[in-house]
Amino acid sequence: MTDFRKMRRFKQQANDEECLRLLGTAKRGVLAVLGDNEYPYTVPFKAPILSFRKSAIVLKSG
């Protein structure tokens, strides 16, 4: 896994189990990524948003 810098508000940081539970029960969300030349963009999505495949989280749309 990539090393990330420490969160500024680390007391509010959720652990891995909490994050996966939230992703597994959310009805909608926004995927934020960096595109070409590090240009940020977001994609909204609805419905059951993920499934687990080994170490990957698979987002589903439509």
Identify the CA nearest to 61 among candidates 50, 23, 6: 50
Residues 6 or more apart whose Cβ sits within 8 Å of residue 44: 28, 29, 30, 31
The pTM score is: 0.50
The tens digit of pLDDT for each residue in 6-18 reads 888 888 888 888 8
The tens digit of pLDDT for each residue in 12-58 reads 888 888 887 887 787 888 888 888 888 999 988 776 556 666 667 66
